[in-house]
Structure 1
Amino acid sequence: MTIAYACVLFMGLLPYVAAGIAKKGFEGYDNALPRQWLAKQTGFRARANAAQANLFESLPLFFAAVIIASIANAPQARIDLLALGFVAARIAYLICYVANWPTTRSIVWTLGIICVVSLFFQI
Structure 2
Amino acid sequence: MEIKFNLDTIIFYVQNVERLKSFYSSVFSFKVVEEYESSWALLEAGSCKIGLHQIGHEYWDESKGTFKFDSNAKLVFEIDQDINEMRTHFVKQNVEMKQIKTFDNYGYWLCDGEDPEGNVFQLKQKK
Same fold (TM over 0.5): no
TM-score range, shorter chain: under 0.3
| Structure 1 or 2: more strand by fraction | 2
Greater RCO (Cα-Cα under 8 Å, separation 6 or more): 1
Superposition TM-score, scaled by structure 1 size: 0.26
TM-score in terms of structure 2 length: 0.25
